[in-house]
DNA sequence: GCGACAG
DNA sequence: ATCTTGTCGC
């Protein structure tokens, strides 16, 4: 469980190289599929935690039964941080280790839900889109912040939503209220799923808390796994 | 030029 | 993301 995922050969070494990769992959995104029907099947939450001191990143993938919200399977992976944090280039920091965690699952992941954005991105190719193109899986993103985008405050009730807008007025996602009187989450499409379906999945997975159960489980697991790795580093 | 900016 | 104590509230 302490195998460290290597950074792939040819991984972008600077911003310019990363921008070129986004430019090359962006038109492989599939946006004309409605995606898997909400409320059933499998959904997999992915998330990462960092230790910048040791240059480590731990990724977690947690598979849930979308109907019952029961955990079906969990996997983690440890890697080297593959890129600095640059707004708009988040994917290059997380993807190698997230892929490693996904590959360690025995079950098929179904639809993947990640922290961050897909279409809602400066070049319309955020983490969720990137992960989708690399895996071929349906992927959507649920973010906690609006990034650089603007939105009208949605209604106060669970299920109320409003458009998340880019500078040019394009709808790149939705601000979706998942609980009464709590801050909305920001949903966007990654790959092979529509915005309506992505919002429906988000609501179905956020019955009780603001964030979907998938991301809550993945977040808890990668933090736990990171702590274990840190303990092992101190006490060999 | 300056500030803002998913995680 | 991460650094960090207590605290208000269901």
- In chain A, how many H helices and how many E strands? 5, 10
Mean of pLDDT over chain A: 96
pLDDT in tens, A210-225: 999 999 999 999 999 9
Q: Residue A40: how many CA atoms within 13 Å on its side-chain side?
A: 3
User: Does A151 contact strand B, using a CB cutoff of 7 Å?
Assistant: no
Q: Which nucleotide is nearest to A47 (CA to C1')?
A: B7
Classified as helix, coil or strand, A28 is helix
The pLDDT value given to residue A58: 97
d(CA A116, CA A28) in angstroms, rounded, equals: 19
Kindly report the number of other CB atoms within 10 A of residue A45's CB atom: 29
User: Does A184 contact strand B, using a CB cutoff of 7 Å?
Assistant: no
pLDDT in tens, A19-78: 999 999 999 999 999 999 999 999 999 999 999 999 999 999 999 999 999 999 999 999
User: Does A74 contact strand C, using a CB cutoff of 7 Å?
Assistant: no
A130 CA from C9 C1′ (Å): 40
Share of chain A above pLDDT 70, in %: 99
A5 CA from C3 C1′ (Å): 26
d(CA A193, CA A200) in angstroms, rounded, equals: 11
> Can you give the residue ranges of every domain in chain A?
30-234
pLDDT reading at A1 higher than 70: no
Q: Which residues contact A221 (CB under 8 A, 6 or more apart)?
A: A47, A60, A62, A74, A76
Structure tokens at A124: 């319309």
The answer on whether A47 is annotated among ligand-binding residues is: yes
d(CA A181, CA A64) in angstroms, rounded, equals: 27
* pLDDT bucket at A117, cuts 50 / 70 / 90: very high
Beta-strand pair A171-176/A161-165: antiparallel
Residues A30-234: name the CATH superfamily.
archaeoglobus fulgidus dsm 4304 superfamily (3.30.2170.10)
Kindly report the number of other CB atoms within 10 A of residue A118's CB atom: 31
Which residues make beta-bridge pairs with A139?
Answer: A112, A191
Sort A230 into a burial class: Cβ within 10 Å, 0-12 / 13-18 / 19+: middle
The pLDDT value given to residue A128: 98
Helix A15-25 vs helix A127-135: crossing angle, to nearest 10: 60
CB A159 within 8 A of CB A124: no
pLDDT reading at A232 higher than 90: no
Structure tokens at A4: 């460290």
pLDDT in tens, A74-95: 999 999 999 999 999 999 999 9
Structure tokens at A154: 């949605």
- In strand C, the nucleotides that come within 7 Å of a protein beta carbon are 1-2
The pLDDT value given to residue A234: 75
* pLDDT bucket at A3, cuts 50 / 70 / 90: confident
pLDDT in tens, A184-201: 999 999 999 999 999 999
With CA atoms as reference, report the closest residue to A91 among A127, A135, A46: A127
Query: Average pLDDT for residues A107-129, to the nearest whole number?
Result: 97
CA angle A217, A220, A223 (to 5 degrees): 145
Query: Average pLDDT for residues A135-146, to the nearest whole number?
Result: 97
pLDDT in tens, A143-166: 999 999 999 999 999 999 999 999
CB A165 within 8 A of CB A151: yes
């Amino acid at each position: 469980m302490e195998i460290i995922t290597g950074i792939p050969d040819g991984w972008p070494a600077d911003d310019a190289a990363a921008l070129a990769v986004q430019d090359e992959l962006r038109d492989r995104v599939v946006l004309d599929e409605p995606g898997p029907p909400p409320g059933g099947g499998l959904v997999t939450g992915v998330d990462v935690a960092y230790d910048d001191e040791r240059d480590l990143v731990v990724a977690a993938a947690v598979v849930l039964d979308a109907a019952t919200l029961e955990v079906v399977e969990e996997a983690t992976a440890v890697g080297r941080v593959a890129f600095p944090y640059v707004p708009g280039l988040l994917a290059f920091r997380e993807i190698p280790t997230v892929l490693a965690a996904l590959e360690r699952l025995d079950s098929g992941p179904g639809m993947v839900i990640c922290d961050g954005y897909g279409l809602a991105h400066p070049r319309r190719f955020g983490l969720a889109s990137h992960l989708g193109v690399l895996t071929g899986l349906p992927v959507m993103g649920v973010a906690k912040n609006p990034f650089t985008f603007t939105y009208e405050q949605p209604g106060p009730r669970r299920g109320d939503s409003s458009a998340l807008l880019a500078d040019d007025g394009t709808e790149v996602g939705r601000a979706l209220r998942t609980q009464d009187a709590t801050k909305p989450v920001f949903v966007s499409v990654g790959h092979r799923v529509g915005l309506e379906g992505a919002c429906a999945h988000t609501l179905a997975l956020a019955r009780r808390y603001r964030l979907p159960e998938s991301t809550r489980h993945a977040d808890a697991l990668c933090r736990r796994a990171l702590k274990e790795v840190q303990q092992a580093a101190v006490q060999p």
